[in-house]
Amino acid sequence: MKEKIIFLCISLSTIAGVAYAANEIESIKAFVNHNIKITVNGNPFSPKDSEGIELAPVIINGNSYLPAKAIGEALGATVQWNEPSKTIIITNNVIGNKPTDKEVSDKVNEIKKILKVGMTQAEVKSLLKESYKIVDDNGDLENGSDSYWKYNYFTAPGYTHDDLPDHVIDEEGLKARNIGLSLFVGWKKEKIHLFTISYVRGNDLYLFIMNPDGTYSESKI
């Protein structure tokens, strides 16, 4: 049987606990097909609910329905449930060539894997081919570093925020996805002393911090 794909059907976990009048609910016959594979922008993808349980496509009358929240967020959109109006709200966060959550996440994980405290500037230059900016912290940062480099990734063409000091996180630019992520490296005697990665995921900003002693933390800003 040839199946049609209908893009979005809201994940039940998104509307758990929502009450409806009897005449608003219709009983249907559906099947769950665990054999269907999904790719997002060419990459294998397994939709999951808020508990981390994998969600297979639901087949209704030959049409494949996919969970709205998982698929939407994989494509960089925000999916919300509005209880008063009983409305599923999907907001596209990707405009033009702005980065998706997956693209940002992949780059963040790549940087985490590559960079290590103690690496030399020559080693970092050989691994990170992107251009960087030498940052003057104006004496504001007292963390033991003697110099700083800043890398911005997925920067929108022509975007600048000149009134913001380079050592301050550009929260506005990140939220608007004019920047996908920003890597800030602190050097001591030309070796990595520490580094931070500020990045966007959905509507939230996150900050990863690698400390001089090799410990790290990651949290919402």
Q: DSSP strand E in 3-110: where?
A: 4-9, 31-32, 38-40, 43-45, 58-60, 63-67, 77-82, 87-92
Q: Are residues 56 and 115 in the same domain?
A: no
Dist. CA 35–CA 169, nearest whole Å: 44
Q: Which residue, 33, 58, 92, sits at the end of a domain?
A: 92
Per-residue pLDDT for 94 more than 80?
no
Claim to verify: residue 113 and residue 194 sit in the same structural domain:
yes
CA dist., res. 47 & res. 11, Å (int): 10
Tokens linked to 179: 């920047």
17 and 68 housed in the same domain: yes
Q: Are residues 143 and 189 in the same domain?
A: yes
Sheet holding 58-60, edge to edge: 4-9, 63-67, 58-60, 31-32
Confidence bin at 145 (pLDDT 50/70/90): very high
- Say what the pTM is: 0.57
Question: Does 215 lie in the same domain as 123?
Answer: yes
Mean pLDDT of 129-141: 82
Residue 138's domain spans which residues? 101-220
Query: According to the model, what pLDDT value does residue 17 have?
Result: 42
How many structural domains is the chain composed of?
2
Whether residues 84 and 11 share a domain: the answer is yes
Mean pLDDT of 79-87: 84
- Per-residue buried b or exposed e for 179-211, using 16+ beta carbons within 10 Å of the residue's own CB: bbbbbbbbbbeeebbbbbbbbbbeeebbbbebe
Q: Which amino acid is at 40?
A: V
